[in-house]
Amino acid sequence: MHDHAREAKARSVVTRKLDNAELHRLTLEEYRKAPKLPVVVVLDNVRSLNNVGSVFRTADALLLEAIWLCGITGTPPHNEIHRTALGAELSVPWHYAPHTLGAVAQLRAAGYIVVAVEQVEGSVPLPSFAPQGDERYALVFGNELRGVAQDVVSRADMCLEIPQFGTKHSFNIAVSVGIVLWDISCKLRALT
């Protein structure tokens, strides 16, 4: 049996689920003051409000700086965003930009490295990507059908790709955001 499993079985208390109070999550006020991961997410014309809400929830859990909602991407307050964000649309700062290129240009001017998460020639596979502790990253995720627009990809500093081994062409966009943010946040937290 696996070491962790053996160890866990040896602890009699392992099986009790924690209630919400025991999770010691931050209040909105504490969230505002907490040091953030030096990462923002840019959503390039994401159609589904369900996906937008889910990205807010992921960004809250991993303490991102902000989300940029661009083009047709829906913005809070909205019932459908709330249904998956469950209030994370109140904790994570967000901005709206009519054009993704404008948002990307602003973020680059503010010192962010612009990273398009897209399947392109010469993209860096996520496992090989080594984010650096003294940089800030703007991660751009694209529309459900078309991905990140070619003109945004062309102006990115780099492209990052999640390796995939099956029959389908891409992950769901909210899942992609989860995977990429998890991977990068682990690597950045390991540096501190």
Applying the rule CB under 8 A, the residues between 133 and 152 that interact with a copy of itself are 135, 147-148, 150
* Shortest distance in whole angstroms from residue 72 CB to a copy of itself: 19
Per CB under 8 A, contacts with a copy of itself among 84-113 are 84, 86-88, 91-92, 113
The region of 39-47, 57-65, 66-74, 97-105 touching a copy of itself under the rule CB under 8 A is 57-65
The region of 65-73, 74-82, 98-106, 174-182 touching a copy of itself under the rule CB under 8 A is 174-182
* Nearest in space to 42 (alpha carbons), one of 181, 162, 145, 146: 181
Strands 136-141 and 112-117, bridge-based pairing: parallel
From the list 40, 43, 54, 138, which residue makes contact with a copy of itself (rule: CB under 8 A)?
54
- Angle between helix axes 49-61 and 173-191 (nearest 10 degrees) is 10
Contact between 138 and 192 under an 8 Å Cβ cutoff? The reply is: no
* Nearest in space to 25 (alpha carbons), one of 36, 34, 15, 17: 34
| Six-digit token string for 123 | 């993209």
Q: Does 171 bind a copy of itself (CB under 8 A)?
A: yes
From the list 49, 81, 162, 188, which residue makes contact with a copy of itself (rule: CB under 8 A)?
162
The region of 39-47, 72-80, 98-106, 166-174 touching a copy of itself under the rule CB under 8 A is 166-174
Residues 6+ apart with CB under 8 A from 94: 56, 66, 67, 68, 69, 75, 76
From the list 38, 60, 71, 184, which residue makes contact with a copy of itself (rule: CB under 8 A)?
60
In the bound state with a copy of itself, the residue whose beta carbon lies nearer, of 69 and 92, is 92
Q: Does 157 bind a copy of itself (CB under 8 A)?
A: yes
85: exposed, middle or buried (Cβ count in 10 Å: 0-12, 13-18, 19+): buried
